[in-house]
Chains A and B, each alone.
Chain A
Amino acid sequence: MKKLRASALITGMVAALSSMPALAQSEKCLRVVGTDWASEQQSVDPLINNHVADLMRLTTIYEKLVELDNGYQPIPVLAESWESDAGGSVWTFRLRKGVKWHDGRDFTAKDVVWTLKRVLDPKLESGAAATLSMLDPEKLEAVDDHTIRITTKSPTVELPILLSSKYTAMVPDGMSREMMQKKPVGTGPYMVDEFVPGPKFLAKRNPNYWKPGMPKASCIELSGITESVARVAALQSGQVDLLIFLEPSATATLRNDPNIKVMNSPGGSVMTLSMWVDTPPFDKPQVRQAMKLVVDRQKMVEAALLGIGSPGNDNPVPPNSPDAYRTDIVPRDVEKAKQLLKEAGHPDGLSVDLYTSDSISTMVPIAQLYQQMAADAGIKVNIIMSPADSYWNEIWLKRPFITSTWGGRPTAEALSIAYLSKAQFPETHWYRTDYDELIAKANGTVDAAERRKIFQQAQKLLAEEGGVIVPAFASVSAAMRKTCSGYEPNNNVNNNDFSGFHCD
């Protein structure tokens, strides 16, 4: 009995070992792996796009009118060109010709109207309804098959940039969520005949794809591996071709592997430590300034992000952006910090609670480093680790001093989303009409140079008086086998493009 079992096991192992080359996959499907995958919560509706797995799936099937490059400038995708009238309220978009949906129909302006109406529909729970609130669903006009005219409620100089929101991916006219769940139809590089939630997402080449010569592979297979060690091992052993959204520790391991190429986006996500400016002790501007002066920003990048990022200047516009209000990095000044604390009535230092979580892995080292840096000025930071899966519901926006992170965004959106008085996510309780007025003025200024100057004024105000500490920007990283090419991570994790990706 024992002998039979042993010999069966051995034969099995020999068979497995002798077919080792099979590990490198005989079929030509591209295998892309993200950081997470849910068994049942799998969306094929662009309006529901909140998890890494959804992002991967949706960017494979659907496309938007416009995308943003790493400078947050719009590049034409399904819209070829656009212009507005002098006031910035009437926009005309000319759509690309010859684009077909996965079911063979032509892409026309009627599809754009349907898509945008869905985005604005309060019953459909879209995350972009707020940012695109200046659009009127009745003022979306399909002038002809390839021209659409949009009239906004107020002058919106940067409408093309706003239309690059991940939620505005184009869906066919008349398609409802129920229809999508069975068979999603998009214009993207890969397509499916039927959708069934499973541990992997397999899509085949779209033969009618509008980019010439693309996609280069016959199919793509998406999945997610939560365990970091397993993910890295899978890439190194050749079981997968591309890993996206890597954390810094994984990039450190993979950099030394001769078969792997690690890529980092030039800019990235904003890492923030946010204080409520209406809550003691942060209600005194000197305290806020002191909290900012203790940060050694370059050290934050090197130690917390393992060098994969760039330093920040306490506002969500990166210092290397042409829109930045200053290009040098704010230096650390512990003496000045202590002096400011004394002025504010805290001669013996300060004690504060900082909430964080490993829901985003980079938040924890940032919090820990901040604790050490602040201690030098007598600021005692007590780190409170919170459970990952409830952090964004229970702690974020609900505690006076937290860590948070925001995807890379164009200047106007970055300065508005958390810092306007009416912002949907007031991370710092910063309600300043002078700041609001600056942003509104900039949004209505057509001249680009003028607009930039106003945005710089707003940044200065936010950086000097606001409640947000931005020590660094974390690059978006990806790693692929050296035999592959055609993929680059974008500053904004939501701008994901697999169309050119292929492996030999």
Chain B
Amino acid sequence: MILRLVGLRFVTAALTLLCVSAIVFAAVEILPGDVASNVLGQFSSETARAALREQLHLDQPALQRYFLWLGNVLQGDLGIALSSRRSIADILWPRITNTLILSGVAVLLYIPLALLPAVAQALNRNRPLDHALSAVTLVLASIPDFLLALLLLILFVVVLPLLPAVSIVTPSTDFLGWFKALILPATTLAIVMAVYAARMLRDNLIEVLEAPHVLMARLRGFPEWRVMWIHALPNAIVPTLNVTALNFTYLAGGVVIVEKVFGFPGFGSLMIDAIRFRDVPLVEITVLIASCVYIFANLLADLAAILLNPKLRQARA
């Protein structure tokens, strides 16, 4: 049954991506300005721009260009970026790696940032610590990620000069350089994702801690940490896993803002620059990749929900 579900989801995903590619193409066409005027600048003449457009085959009708592009992509040729004439495959690889590393670190930080406050709150329900942490998570949840990034920057670079202001990593950056560059952007992403999970997990934990089997565990004399981590948490965590998978979809987009603020040369800033320069092939590929991440993360969330809920699994048994 799982296999059927996954198979169906893959087919829908492919269709979705096709629609996305068409919509993105149309959207960039409608936007004012084009590659020629952005590359050559505001002082360029119309003849100069026309010459560049001809060179880039932009004088062909839009529909024809779209299907030409689609044909190439389906054969595995990702194409050439219009602004730099470099192969898109060459451009993508280092950027995707950078963003994967950033996202990976963000997810690693996210886990304790979501778990620890929730556990602390559940164990100290309605006491000052609970209220304090609730207030903190509420405030953090209300701050837009852009603002949070700037606040962290001001706090840890200007007020307490501990970290670098920008995270521009290059192939020559060493491990320590990477480490310092990643802290602020990864923490920003982790906090944005963690606050929702923490609040939800707190409520679920409190509920589970009152369940009969937990009472049973306590009566049997198990130490409190065992009650929490082995008996209560695995049950409470199911809805949070769903939220977690959905948080990963946030990463596809949120990483863009954080990368721009900290200057991290990742996939997100590549997509933004491509749009700014109306570099159609590059916009298409980057948006499609972001869509894939989103679709895949959603699929994970659904699968996680099914696998962890035995009732759903046995529906057809």
Contacts and interface: CB of A to CB of B under 8 A. Distances in A.
A48 B39 contact: yes
B33 A199 contact: no
Contacts of A199: 168-170, 263, 265
Nearest to B34: A393
Contacts of B52: 125
Given A39-B269, A40-B274, A223-B168, A127 B162 contact: no
A234 B122 CA distance: 41
A38 B276 contact: yes
Interface stretch (B11-19, B41-49, B303-311): B41-49
A127 B40 contact: yes
A452 to B, nearest CB: 27
Contact of A40 (B86, B108, B150, B157): B86
Contacts of A256: none
Given A50-B41, A230-B157, 15 more contacts: A5-B108, A16-B176, A40-B270, A50-B42, A181-B85, A197-B86, A199-B170, A223-B263, A227-B262, A230-B262, A233-B157, A233-B158, A234-B157, A237-B158, A394-B32
Contacts of A126: 48
Contacts of B157: 230, 233-234, 237
B158 A38 contact: no
A31 to B, nearest CB: 10
Nearest to B38: A41
Contact of A200 (B42, B85, B170, B176): B170
B84 A230 contact: no
Nearest to A223: B168
Contacts of A20: 162
Interface in B73-112: 81, 83-86, 91, 95, 108, 111-112
Interface string A181-213: 100000000000000011110100000000000
A23 interface: yes
15 contacts: A15-B179, A39-B273, A40-B274, A40-B279, A41-B39, A48-B40, A126-B48, A129-B45, A225-B168, A226-B263, A227-B150, A230-B165, A230-B166, A239-B166, A390-B31
Interface of B: 31-33, 37-45, 47-49, 51-52, 81, 83-86, 91, 95, 108, 111-112, 115-116, 150, 153-154, 157-158, 161-166, 168-171, 176, 179-180, 183, 260-263, 265, 269-270, 273-274, 276-277, 279, 282
A389 interface: yes
Contact of B42 (A37, A202, A393): A393
Interface string A41-54: 11000001111000
A226 B158 contact: no
A425 to B, nearest CB: 7
B154 A229 contact: yes
A123 B165 contact: no
A227 B43 contact: no
Contacts of A239: 164-166
A230 B153 contact: yes
A39 B42 contact: no
A49 B44 CA distance: 10
A236 B162 CA distance: 12
A234 B277 CA distance: 27
Interface string A309-331: 00000000000000000000000
Contacts of A236: 158
Contact of B265 (A39, A41, A50, A393): A39
The size class of the interface chain A forms with chain B is 35 or more
A233 B153 contact: yes
Contacts of A234: 157, 164-166
Contacts of A40: 81, 83-84, 86, 91, 270, 273-274, 277, 279, 282
Contacts of B108: 5
Contact of B43 (A12, A50, A122, A225): A50
Contacts of B38: 41
Interface in A218-250: 223, 225-227, 229-231, 233-234, 236-237, 239
Interface in A13-65: 15-17, 19-20, 22-23, 37-42, 48-51
Nearest to A359: B42
B273 A2 contact: no
A50 B276 contact: no
Contacts of A382: none
A34 to B, nearest CB: 12
Nearest to A37: B263
B87 to A, nearest CB: 11
A125 B44 contact: yes
A394 B31 CA distance: 10
B270 A39 contact: yes
Nearest to A238: B161
Given A125-B52, A197-B84, A230-B153, A38 B263 contact: no
Contacts of A38: 83, 273, 276-277
A19 B161 CA distance: 13
A477 to B, nearest CB: 19
A246 B100 CA distance: 33
Contacts of A202: 170
B97 to A, nearest CB: 13
Contacts of A39: 91, 95, 265, 269-270, 273-274
A2 B39 contact: no
A424 interface: yes
A449 interface: no
A127 B273 contact: no
B86 A2 contact: no
Contacts of A200: 168, 170
A434 to B, nearest CB: 27
Contacts of A23: 164
A129 B277 CA distance: 24
B32 A22 contact: no
Contact of A125 (B48, B150, B163): B48
A200 to B, nearest CB: 5
